[in-house]
Amino acid sequence: MGNPIKIQSEIGKLKTVVLRRPGLEIENLTPDYLGELLFEEIPYLHKIQEEHDYFADALRQQGTEVLYVDELLAEALTTDVMKEEFLTAILKQSNFLYGYTLDKVKEYLIEFPTRDMINKIMSGVRKDELINITMQKSLLPLAMHRPFYVSPMPNLYFTRDPSACIGDGIVFSKMKESARRRESLFMKFIVDYHEKFKTANVPVWVDGLTYPFSIEGGDILVLSKEVVAIGISQRTSVAAIEHISKNLFANQSEIKKVLAVDIPKSRAFMHLDTVFTMLDRDKFSIHPRILDRHGEIDSYTIEAADSDSRLRITHNKDILMALKSVLRLTTIELIPCGGGDAIAAPREQWSDGTNTLALAPGVVMTYDRNYVTNKLLRQRGVEVIEIPSSELSRGRGGPRCMSMPIFREDVS
């Protein structure tokens, strides 16, 4: 069997994608823990599932194979040893569990059938599920503090961030926020143990489970066979970009350049793909507020220098010129979110107007609520497939955030 991973562009026809249908983890959000779990609002579970199912069906109608992360992992953990290894790794990342409590939570979870255990871990383990633990005198202070032994993972439906494919390899992200650090383990165990992946010897460009500096998939855009763009953002560090650049240049031959784009560090501009995405060979969506008053933004073209693993870095201020240079194009069109309007642009960017998912060159999926941006994209020759978004958008991520492509066709 050949390598099941091939991502050599942002726009090649999307053949296979990994999703997570929102589950009971959404129901375990409460106002007291919204900030900790990186949400501003509480989505309505029934409606968000309905919208996500529409999203998945729309992908299938375009010829895309849809895989679900929980199903893949359940298929991967075929032995009790694998199941316990995964559970141990997840609980180790749950921070405050230790000693007697850790043992009892592990005993509780290991008894579930594998698929049920995975979904229970995703949704969270409440303390009132294990009354015999909370009655222990030594644990009473812990029991009074928070409602969970294992916190829910409501961000899991944004499968783009915990891992990202580049070429025939993968990045297991080092998530910036502790609430999300467990998420990278899901694809790690799938790649290690699932029949679809384990015999392919998938290259790992960054193993965030052991690496100290943060990098997240939403900041990684594969612009072509030769060029990867990575955001220097609130969630991805300069050190990680240098690390992945060296790994790519040393361990494969196709990618020649990394374009690091220094975006504003804010919750609204969380990742590069929340302000900048590729629509076609020569078309990009951009949020105009990442540019300064001169229409400029700092970017850095990174290339291999010599045989001693050094990097050659060129500073750019003009993003158009930088893109033309690395992609070897004479013209590139930047289409502004909300048409660049002072009100529509920030409003639609907040609900992910620039977070487009390309299904093929010039064919993208967007949220229906961003009607100003969608109209402009159509006027500029882009085919736009809209999906409902009243609840999906509450998590602050769009169609690109909700999808982890693992296979795209070549761009001719």
Structure token digits, residue 347: 């409003």
Q: How far apart are CA 363 and CA 385, in angstroms?
A: 8
**337 is an active site residue:** no
Structure token digits, residue 275: 């302000």
Q: How far apart are CA 241 and CA 247, in angstroms?
A: 10
N residues, the chain: 412
Q: How far apart are CA 29 and CA 8, in angstroms?
A: 37
Residue among 335, 340, 317 nearest 382 (CA):
335
Q: How far apart are CA 388 and CA 274, in angstroms?
A: 18
Q: How far apart are CA 146 and CA 168, in angstroms?
A: 42
Considering the candidates 11, 165, 401, 404, report the single residue annotated as catalytic: 401
Cβ–Cβ < 8 Å for 25, 123: yes
Q: How far apart are CA 309 and CA 292, in angstroms?
A: 34
Count helices and strands in the chain by DSSP H and E runs: 12, 19
Q: What is the per-residue DSSP string for 151-172?
A: ---GGGG-TTTTEEEEBTEEEE
Structure token digits, residue 273: 């793909």
Cβ–Cβ < 8 Å for 278, 363: no
Residue among 135, 209, 151 nearest 175 (CA):
209
Q: What is the per-residue DSSP string for 102-119?
A: HHHHHHHHHTS-HHHHHH
Q: How far apart are CA 26 and CA 308, in angstroms?
A: 49
Cβ–Cβ < 8 Å for 161, 216: yes
Active site residues: 401
